[in-house]
């Protein structure tokens, strides 16, 4: 019988409350915003034979079409965010925004053209209205006559039958005729003239219905109005139906002396077209406050004014950049306070990422940004960031100009599987993507999942509020790990996976629980001190560049600074790291609470006393794939079992039962020698054509390995088959000196022993 994960372990998995509806304060939570950034037109001109005008037209049209599609499939948003880096050429940037707006102007113009009224059309319309009025009056009088005829006919048969109660409920004329021919009516034994009157009344009602429809159309024609004075094409005026917000990226500032000069230029050129250029400014709407600005990179010590394109005053001038970011921060605080005061949703739109220009996230804000060309979307209870529509550079080719807006909404996100009882179900890619949005994790566009589903079926397993996603095809079962897949079994028996699902979940939680408990303690203490405390893999973030890594083997802690992935500077203690960050006063504040709070004592000690003496005062380059980083990357998806109740890996070795379904492999590997990338050889001494084989090392020790894993390392050329069958193995052992006598003896005995067992059967 299947059992749920024990309550004690489940409590740990629920520490991150990601099951709350994602609603933001404001009188109307259902707000939708379309957004895009980093189009870089000059870069993409090469895909249009260097014709920048063609590039502008194609991309602007594509963007306009995507906006139309969003309107058709969802409610109209009215808000569009352009988050910067259209081009370093001001003329190209202006032409792009003009070209995009022209599509809206042309649509309005076409509608206006159909409504133009010259003198002749006005005279003709007024004559038509006189005729419509005459027809309307005549028809109205005739309808009244028909109504009188109906009532007269009803009265003439009322002593025999009540038309309203008996006949009218039967429905249409055809249905009434059927009733009159039925035995139910014939049993009434009514005179023939009554039957004829009933048919007459039914026909009058049908006629009355048609007359009323004609009357309704005439009323519509009479309600139509025309202008009192003639109109012509020159009377057309474009009305701004959309709120287009433009944030200047660092590329838009190129060629200008300073920020103010650039801002003045773009406002003069683009605001007459209906755009709003925001630079440390607020745009107040009926249901939202939009605060926008470039932001710049005060808090980024690696990529900033020293090495990025910008206006002349900022190139190589960090003090000017810091000054601009500080101004952005001050007005951001005021805008947020105003949004809270007015009860409106607070939207913050920047070009630079939040970590560069604010160095913190507020739960009260919804952030939109670009600049990095690294798409990410975060929608959790702690922060909401949309930076996942950065077009960037298409250096690998295959760009056809088809770009589109993405839409963000402030609706609550629903778990599509919430109503399902425990079990396994075939699901869709759309529901899978919605589930990940629900738990607040961005996993890309789902292109790989969509491709995998073309030749397979996507399943969801739900059990005790934990979830797992699997793809079944002719080659077996793969587990879905975010936007990727990993083959785990040759079988297609999803019921077998479901029957063992709780067992595997429970074992993963038991393995990861000690690490998670320590990380949660560290995270909570960091949050109390005002730091981020985000957990991912083995790492707990202090802020964007300072981190704490927990060793899962011995629980030791490493404090380090990493401005770029792969570059680290270690610290001897947490105090030394805070000193480097300029925050030692925070530690003193924590120490002052030690006497009154035992939780602070244990957590502060965990941060203060634990040291790593292998330190360096300089940045070191470390492997991004091996070592601690490699382990952290492997652990990170497994921790979704705590943050989202999702199992992202599935080790068949943790299961309690074997697959009872027919075997997929036809030929046994028994008796073959297998060599791995560590130059260690193994003899296959057990193979029942299932998902596992038993290996024997040269020392005689046995181990169980999955067939999938062996095939994977062979495919990656990190291992190989040394022999092709048992006879080949015996020949190598007996005739060659590849193995010592002890190994040769135990391997031959293992082969002979298994052969005897097979002969008996």
pLDDT value for 390 = 94
- Give the β-pairing of 345-350 and 365-368: parallel
Which single residue is written with the structure tokens 């079994």? 489
| C-alpha to C-alpha distance for 2 and 421, rounded to whole angstroms | 14
pLDDT at 627 over 80: no
Cβ burial of 42 (10 Å; 0-12, 13-18, 19+) is middle
| C-alpha to C-alpha distance for 275 and 82, rounded to whole angstroms | 10
Give 745's pLDDT tier (boundaries 50, 70, 90).
confident
- Residue-wise pLDDT for 210-249, tens only, equals 998 888 888 887 887 766 666 666 666 767 677 899 999 9
pLDDT value for 27 = 46
Is residue 27 in some structural domain?
no
Is residue 661 in some structural domain?
no
pLDDT value for 720 = 87
Please provide the average confidence, as pLDDT, over all residues in the chain.
81
- Say if residue 264 is in the same domain as residue 398: yes
- Say if residue 700 is in the same domain as residue 734: yes
pLDDT value for 228 = 67
pLDDT value for 259 = 97
Helix (H, G, I), strand (E, B) or coil at 426: strand
pLDDT at 420 over 50: yes
pLDDT value for 23 = 39
Number of domains in the chain: 5
pLDDT at 255 over 80: yes
| C-alpha to C-alpha distance for 316 and 318, rounded to whole angstroms | 6
pLDDT at 113 over 80: no
Mean pLDDT of the 473-486 span: 86
pLDDT at 611 over 60: no
Question: Do the beta carbons of residue 215 and residue 143 sit within 8 Å?
Answer: yes
Residue 71 is encoded by which pair of tokens? 């309107």
Lowest mean pLDDT, pick from 154-158, 176-180, 576-580: 576-580
- The DSSP secondary-structure symbol of 167 reads I
- Give the β-pairing of 281-284 and 646-647: unpaired
Is residue 8 in some structural domain?
no
Is residue 160 in some structural domain?
yes
CA 329 to chain centre: 28
- Say if residue 269 is in the same domain as residue 336: yes
Question: Do the beta carbons of residue 92 and residue 86 sit within 8 Å?
Answer: yes
H/E segment holding residue 548: strand 546-550
Is residue 504 in some structural domain?
no
Mean pLDDT of the 589-616 span: 41
Structural domain span for residue 168: 124-223
pLDDT at 760 over 80: no
pLDDT value for 94 = 96
- Say if residue 261 is in the same domain as residue 377: yes
Mean pLDDT of the 94-105 span: 92
- Say if residue 82 is in the same domain as residue 128: no
Residue 674 is encoded by which pair of tokens? 């297998």
Most confident residue range from 144-148, 252-256, 363-367: 252-256
Mean pLDDT of the 731-747 span: 82
- Residue-wise pLDDT for 344-400, tens only, equals 889 999 999 999 999 888 888 999 999 999 888 887 767 889 999 999 988 776 777
pLDDT value for 74 = 47
- Say if residue 210 is in the same domain as residue 81: no
Is residue 659 in some structural domain?
no
Is residue 593 in some structural domain?
yes
536-575: burial string, b at 16+ Cβ within 10 Å, e else: ebbbbbbbbbbbbbbebeeeebbbbbbeeeeebbbbebbb
Lowest mean pLDDT, pick from 240-254, 256-270, 616-630, 707-721: 616-630
Question: Do the beta carbons of residue 24 and residue 410 sit within 8 Å?
Answer: yes
pLDDT > 70 in the chain, percent: 82
Give 605's pLDDT tier (boundaries 50, 70, 90).
very low
- Say if residue 462 is in the same domain as residue 544: no
- Residue-wise pLDDT for 485-538, tens only, equals 888 888 888 998 898 899 889 888 888 888 888 888 888 888 777 777 888 888
pTM of the model: 0.59
- Say if residue 703 is in the same domain as residue 724: yes
- Say if residue 376 is in the same domain as residue 329: yes
What CATH number did the domain enclosing 303 receive?
A: 3.60.21
CA dist 643 to 520, 534, 610, 678, Å?
A: 11, 11, 27, 36
Higher local confidence (pLDDT), 724 or 295: 295
Mean pLDDT of the 591-615 span: 39
Higher local confidence (pLDDT), 655 or 172: 172
Radius of gyration (Cα) for the chain, nearest Å? 37
Is residue 231 in some structural domain?
no
The backbone torsions φ and ψ at residue 459, rounded to the nearest 5 degrees and listed phi first, read -120, 150
- Say if residue 682 is in the same domain as residue 640: no
pLDDT at 263 over 90: yes
């Amino acid at each position: 019988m299947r059992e749920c994960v024990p309550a004690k372990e489940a409590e740990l998995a629920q520490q991150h409350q990601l099951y709350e509806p994602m609603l933001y304060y404001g009188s109307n939570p259902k707000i939708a915003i379309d957004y895009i950034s980093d189009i870089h037109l000059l870069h993409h001109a090469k895909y249009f034979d260097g014709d920048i005008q063609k590039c502008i037209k194609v991309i602007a049209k594509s963007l306009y079409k995507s906006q139309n599609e969003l309107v058709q499939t969802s409610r109209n948003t009215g808000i569009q965010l352009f988050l910067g880096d259209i081009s370093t050429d001001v003329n190209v940037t202006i032409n792009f925004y003009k070209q995009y707006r022209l599509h809206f102007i042309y649509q309005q113009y076409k509608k206006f053209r159909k409504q133009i009224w010259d003198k002749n059309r006005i005279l003709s319309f007024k004559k038509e209205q006189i005729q419509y009025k005459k027809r309307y009056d005549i028809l109205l009088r005739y309808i009244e006559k028909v109504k009188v005829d109906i009532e007269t006919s009803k009265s003439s048969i009322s002593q025999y039958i009540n038309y309203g109660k008996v006949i009218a409920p039967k429905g249409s004329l055809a249905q009434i005729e059927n009733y009159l021919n039925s035995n139910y009516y014939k049993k009434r034994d009514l005179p023939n003239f009554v039957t004829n009157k009933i048919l007459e009344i039914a026909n009058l009602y049908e006629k009355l219905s048609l007359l009323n429809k004609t009357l309704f159309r005439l009323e519509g024609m009479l309600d139509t109005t025309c202008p009192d004075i003639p109109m012509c094409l020159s009377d057309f005026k474009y009305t701004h139906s959309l709120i287009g917000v433009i944030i200047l990226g660092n590329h838009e500032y190129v060629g200008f002396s300073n920020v103010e000069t650039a801002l003045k230029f773009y406002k003069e050129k683009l605001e007459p077209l209906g755009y709003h250029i925001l630079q440390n400014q607020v745009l107040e709407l009926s249901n939202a406050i939009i605060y926008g600005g470039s932001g710049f990179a005060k808090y980024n010590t690696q990529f900033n004014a020293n090495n990025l394109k910008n206006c002349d005053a900022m190139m190589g001038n960090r003090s000017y950049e810091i000054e601009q970011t500080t101004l952005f921060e001050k007005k951001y605080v005021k805008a947020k306070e105003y949004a809270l005061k007015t009860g409106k949703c607070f939207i913050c739109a920047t070009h630079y990422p939040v970590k560069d220009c604010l160095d913190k996230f507020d739960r009260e804000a919804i952030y939109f940004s670009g600049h990095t060309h690294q798409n990410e979307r975060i929608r959790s209870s702690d922060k909401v960031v949309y930076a996942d529509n950065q077009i960037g550079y298409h250096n690998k080719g295959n760009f056809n100009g088809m770009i589109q807006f993405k839409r963000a909404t402030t609706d609550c996100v629903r778990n599509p599987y919430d109503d399902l009882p425990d079990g396994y179900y075939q699901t869709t890619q759309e529901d899978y993507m919605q589930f990940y949005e629900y738990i607040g994790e961005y996993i890309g566009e789902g292109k790989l999942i969509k491709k995998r589903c073309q030749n397979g079926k996507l399943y969801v397993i739900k059990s005790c509020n934990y979830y797992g996603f699997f793809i079944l095809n002719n080659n077996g079962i793969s587990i879905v790990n975010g936007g990727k897949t990993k083959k785990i079994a040759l079988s297609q028996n999803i019921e077998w996976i479901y029957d063992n699902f709780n067992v595997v979940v429970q074992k993963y939680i038991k393995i990861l629980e000690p690490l998670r408990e320590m990380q949660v303690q560290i995270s909570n203490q960091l949050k109390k001190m005002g730091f981020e405390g985000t957990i991912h893999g083995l790492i707990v973030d202090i802020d964007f560049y300072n981190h704490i890594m927990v060793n899962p083997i011995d629980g030791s802690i490493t404090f380090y600074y990493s401005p770029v992935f792969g570059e680290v500077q270690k610290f001897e203690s947490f105090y030394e790291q805070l000193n480097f960050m300029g925050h030692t006063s925070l530690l003193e504040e924590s120490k002052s609470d030690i006497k009154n709070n035992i939780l602070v004592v244990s957590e502060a000690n965990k941060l203060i006393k634990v040291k790593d003496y292998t330190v360096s005062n300089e940045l070191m380059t470390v492997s991004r794939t091996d070592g601690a980083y490699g382990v952290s990357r492997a652990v990170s998806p497994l921790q979704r079992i705590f943050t989202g109740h999702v199992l992202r890996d599935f080790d068949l070795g943790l299961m309690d039962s074997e697959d009872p379904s027919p075997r997929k492999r036809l030929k046994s590997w028994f008796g073959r020698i297998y060599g791995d990338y560590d130059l260690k050889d193994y003899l296959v001494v057990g193979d029942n054509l299932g998902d596992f084989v038993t290996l024997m090392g040269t020392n005689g020790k046995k181990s169980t390995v999955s067939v999938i894993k062996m095939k994977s390392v062979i495919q990656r050329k990190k291992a190989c088959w040394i022999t092709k069958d048992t006879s080949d193995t015996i020949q190598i052992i007996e005739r060659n000196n590849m193995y010592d006598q002890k190994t040769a003896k135990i391997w031959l005995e293992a082969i002979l022993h298994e052969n005897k067992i097979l002969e008996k059967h």
